[in-house]
Structure 1
Amino acid sequence: MSPRMSAAERRELAVRAAMAEFAHGGYDGTSTWMIARRVGVSQPYMFRLFPSKRALFLAAADRCFDDVEDVLRAAAGGRRGGDALAAMAEAWARLPRERPVLPRLQLKIYAIAIRDEDVRGLGRARWARLWRVIGDLSGEPAEEVARFLSDALLANVQAVFGAPAGPGLPRATEVWAENLRDAPDG
């Protein structure tokens, strides 16, 4: 018999389940019932953990940014300068294959931010933090951090639309686009 889970442990499971469900169906295409079923709890219990679907989406979005930062920190691994940026770019490029929920959920976050001020505010704060994290890890100037993030976003858009990567783009951008296009469903 397994020990009973605390509310905090169930909350963590709910956030992870929400990340997967929202990454797949987006905000409008995902129900709290689907998330509750994935966690193995009732929908009323889900609302004890999170007061609303929107609160759960915000928690999942926040965790998505946390996880991306963790991936980048691990990739940098004490490197500095261009070596750190290259290692982080390669790690970001592998996300669609290794952690497909993260890039897919990022896209859903951007989509809902268009109409939701709270999601937009969270995204604005987390992008600013991500910018600082990349700069702190690499020690590179703002222009290089901007290039890094621009390449990642460009690859994301290219992969989603199936557009060719084109000549002259950094290899990590091409790899990222290939990985997103070839990522497993789910």
Structure 2
Amino acid sequence: MVRMSAEERRESVIRAAMAEFARGGYHGTSTEAIAKRVGVSQPYLFRLFPGKKAIFLAAAERCVEDTTRMFAEASEGLEGEEALQAMGEAYRKVVSEQPERLMMQMQMYLAVAAADEEGDHDFGESVRVGWMRLWDTVHLPLGADVDKTTTFMAYGMLINCLVAMGFPSEHRVWAGMEPPEHREGRS
């Protein structure tokens, strides 16, 4: 049996936390559930991270980092409409293959709203900084066009909401998310 390094174990905790927080949210997820998913004790979990908030923020950072990297790779060497189409296709793939990433995004926004209301503005600041990196990653290939970036990000949020509500992929509400050439016969 090969032992994992602390960094490998930390990475497995972040991935497990993303899955657990995506499902249960910040307040509804226990560190015990994360530890169990990884196969470590809670005390070991707290040797890797100082607390639940740190675990959540690491998972949120990873979620944003993964999404930012996905958009950057999809749009590499492209601009304008070609970049838009490539990033849109990459996000559609995430919808079908990794819906938990979208759910983690939704949980991040809810957790920030709750923390801000409780007076913990540092929590939200960390997530907002990551979101701005995501915005910039989309914004530049779209020619730094605020309207195109806003529309793209708005569609992404709508997609996240539809996934969160459990609309099946064949439901008519998804028709507007497809390129026009794929919309034939859906209404």
Query: TM-score category by the smaller chain?
Result: 0.7 to 0.9
- Which position in structure 2 is the counterpart of 1:179? none
- 1:14-53, CA deviations, whole angstroms, 9 ceiling, x for partnerless residues? 1111001111111122111111111121110000000101
Number of residue pairs matched? 172
Q: Could you tell me which residue of structure 2 aligns to residue 82 of structure 1?
A: 81
CA distance in 2, matches of 1:8, 1:166: 40
- Given that residues 155 and 165 in structure 1 are in contact (C-alpha distance below 8 angstroms), is that contact kept between their aligned partners in structure 2? no
Q: Which runs of 5+ in 1 are unaligned?
A: 176-186
CA contact (8 A) 1:81 1:140 kept: no
**1:165 and 2:173 matched:** yes
- Residue aligning to 2:160: 156
The answer as to whether partners of 1:75 and 1:91 remain within 8 angstroms in 2 is yes
- Which residue number corresponds to residue 140 of structure 2? 136
Distance 2:172 2:122 in 1: 34
- Residue identity matched to 2:133: R
**Identical counterparts, % of pairs:** 42
**Which residue is equivalent to 1:6?**
5
Check whether the contact 2:79–2:142 (CA below 8 A) recurs between aligned residues: yes
RMSD across aligned positions (CA): 2.2
SS at match of 1:26: helix
TM-score by length of 1: 0.83
Change (3 A) 1:159 1:12: closer
Equivalent-residue separation in structure 1 for 2:174 and 2:25 (angstroms):
29
Q: Deviations over 1:53-110 (max 9, x none)?
A: 1110000001000000111122213211111011101111221221222101001111
How many Å apart are 1:170 and its aligned residue? Answer: 4.6
CA deviation vs aligned residue, 1:117-137 (integer Å, no higher than 9, x gap): 233212221221111111223
User: What is the TM-score when the length of structure 2 is the normalising length?
Assistant: 0.83
| Residues 1:33 and 1:165: Cα distance change in structure 2 (over 3 Å) | same
Pick from 115, 122, 125 the counterpart of residue 121 of structure 1: 125
Equivalence for 1:98:
97
